[in-house]
Structure 1
Amino acid sequence: MQNDREEPKISELDEGFLSSVEDDRPVSGKSPRTLIAAISALLLVVAVVWFAFRPAVEAPVPSAASPSSPVKAAEPVLAPALDIPVPEPAPEPEQALVSEGEEVPPAEPALTLDDSDEAARETLGELGSPDLFSGLVSQSDVLLRGIALIDGLSRGLILNKILSLPRPVDKFSTLEVQGQHVIDPSSYQRYDPYAQAIAELDTVSMVAAFHSFRPLLEQAYAQLGYQAAEFDNAVIRALDLVIATPEIRGEIPLKGKGALYQFADPDLEKLSPLQKQLLRMGPDNVELVRVQARALRSGLLGE
């Protein structure tokens, strides 16, 4: 559900979003181990996407400005996003009969955000890709950081300070064609493993995980200062941005030099940081990601 509300400042999300954590309501009815496994699957998507989309260089060229006259960035206008419907609840399973005198095993304690780190680290470690998750598992508030990354992606942003991960080994490179710098197609290959990892994700399981553990995800989203009921809109908005990224097959002209390249086409340069980084992955990799984004979006919306 979307409501009019004031956008949190980027600095609040990028540096201080953990300072206001107060909600420790448990999510009952699910095994903490099962809950962590499913949410970790969601974080797998976030980490892979964030790692693949993280800029290898700082793209924007800073404009000259007086230190005494800082330029205030305009708040982004968020595009509308659909609500993810809540499916009909499944019937409760029949309880097994317990003989008189038989001991009933104690139920596992309900999971809360405050006690989820250890289980999240263990589960993420079992998913593999240790280099990918090393920065995530070494920090606190694992689930909350993952939700903050989803929030950033939903606004077309890449919040580098929330999750510290190594950059791709190979560097971004360009070619000069008739006096014009263009992206070197060989640069696209460094993103092949991440695009392939996204392509191999089970979107059906992702949809099931979202619906099963939506309350805890919404609790984490509320810690960022948003309305909990708007988390579904953030997820759909992030997917819509990926799907709407233009497909460009052919040379992509650049301007500038060194670590300050920009897209020469002003329409491309006006895209969100997320979409511009997608273009740097190359058309084949973008298509792999886009196909998964469409599948996940359709599954979440019940289409």
Structure 2
Amino acid sequence: MENSSGSTNNSNSSWVIVTIVFLVAIAIIGYFYQSTSPEPEPVSVVAAPVEPAEVEVAIEPLPEVLTPVEYVEPEAQAIEEPTEVVPEVPLPTLDQSDSWIREKLPTITWRNELLKLIVDDDMVRRFVVFTDNFAKGNVAYQHSILVKPTTKFTAQVVEEDGQATIQWDENVTKRFSLYVDLLRTIDSDLLVQWYVELKPLIDQAYAELGYPDENFTEVLHEAITRVLDMEIPKESLALVRPSVMYKYKDQDIEQLSDADKLLLRIGKDNLLVIKSVLLEINEKLARTRE
């Protein structure tokens, strides 16, 4: 409907303009003719009618009428809002990175009371050394980024077929529950972001261990894979105590690496939660390498 109405209005407007131009042209021609023709002499009246002489008037062609150009309102240009420039905060040195991390730690979990489980001294180096050892199957307790549990390991004596056997006490796995809660409540997106931001310092700490040309992310991936690949025993684990320290009765289990045996001590339920969280973190780390 709008297009049809628009065409009619344009046609009417054009016709009015043509008519006006035509009338003005006729008036100009008439004025020009009257001003250049000689005045007629008086003529005496005779009985016989006198035929007037035919006069040819050369009519000049009308000037070409220009089609009116439809006015198109210029498009309004969007005014770009000035973007706020956020100044980049320079990364601290490796020796001064603890204060940078301490300031950010409360934002990574809503369970801030659990942050007391984190050793906040030389954190980048601790993380690198512990992860490198864990990926190789070792446990560097002195470089752990978490404080040690206050509850000690205990076992229970079980009578079977008249024989006393020492078995794993599943209740002792509760001493790891707070650590699992901390991991469960951590913002994994923010954690991966921190890792990317701190990567230059992490590489520097890894170079101090004698690996200047290796990518630490591959080591972190190996450590996470070790956890994800750990099989959870279906039965309770029997123990022996030939000396002060407990050992696994099953030699295949006893021959496992210290890192794998640490995962067994964490307990089945805790390990399932840890696997779930680390799987998510591992996938997000993989995307940062694409």
**TM-score, length-normalised on structure 1?**
0.57
Greater relative contact order: 1 or 2 (C-alpha under 8 angstroms, separation 6 or more)? 1
Match of 2:124 in 1: 143
- CA deviation vs aligned residue, 1:135-169 (integer Å, no higher than 9, x gap): x33x4x33222222221222222212235865323
Q: Deviations over 1:71-110 (max 9, x none)?
A: xxxxxxxxxxxxxxxxxxxxxxx99689xxxxx9986544
The code of the aligned residue for 2:225 comes to D
* Alignment partner of 2:237 out of 237, 248, 252: 252
Amino acid paired to 2:275: R
Q: Specify which of 156, 170, 177 is matched with residue 151 of structure 2.
A: 170
Find the counterpart in structure 1 of residue 269 from structure 2.
284
| SS of aligned partner of 1:227 | coil
Pair member with larger Rg: 2
Give the aligned partner of residue 194 of structure 1.
179
| Structure 1: gaps of 5 or more residues | 1-93, 99-103
Q: Distance in 1 between matches of 2:203 and 2:178?
A: 31
Runs of 4+ in 1 over 6 A off after TM superposition: 104-107
Say which of 176, 190, 196 aligns to 1:211: 196
Give, in angstroms, the shift of residue 258 of structure 1.
6.2
Q: Which residue of 2 aligns with 1:184?
A: 169
Amino acid at match of 1:157: N
Query: 1:259 deviation in Å?
Result: 3.9
Is the 8 Å Cα contact of residues 221 and 228 (structure 1) preserved in structure 2? no
Other structure's SS at 2:204 match: helix
Shift of 1:253: 0.7
Indicate the SS of the match to 1:221: helix
* Deviation by residue 1:171-225 (Cα, 9 ceiling, x = unmatched): 2111222222111111111112212222222323333333344233212211111
| Secondary structure of the corresponding residue to residue 141 of structure 2 | coil
Structure with the larger helix share: 2
Instruction: Give the residue type in structure 1 aligned to 2:137.
Output: G
Q: 1:110 to 1:168 in 2, by over 3 A?
A: closer
Contact 1:183 1:252 in 2 (8 A): yes
SS at match of 1:176: strand
- Retained in 1: the 8 A contact 2:155–2:169? yes
Q: CA deviation at 1:235?
A: 0.3
> How many pairs align?
201
- Which residue number corresponds to residue 94 of structure 2? 113
Q: Normalising to structure 2: TM-score of the pair? A: 0.60
Distance apart, 1:260 and its partner CA:
0.9
Q: What is the CA deviation profile of residues 216-247 of structure 1, one whole-angstrom value per residue up to 9, with x for unaligned ones? A: 32122111111353201110110011112111
Cα 1:291–1:130, aligned 2, differ >3 Å: closer, same or farther? closer
In the alignment, structure 2 segments of 5+ residues that lack a partner are 1-79
Partner Cα separation in structure 2 for residue 236 and residue 149 of structure 1: 13
Cα shift readout 1:32-71 (whole Å, capped 9, x = no counterpart): xxxxxxxxxxxxxxxxxxxxxxxxxxxxxxxxxxxxxxxx
Change in 2 beyond 3 A, CA 1:265/1:105 = closer
In the other structure, the counterpart of 1:66 is none
Distance 1:246 1:193, change over 3 A: same
Q: 1:277 to 1:105 in 2, by over 3 A?
A: closer
Superimposed CA distance per residue, residues 253-278 of structure 1 (whole angstroms, 9 cap, x where no aligned partner)? 11125641111112211222121011
Identity of aligned residues (%): 27
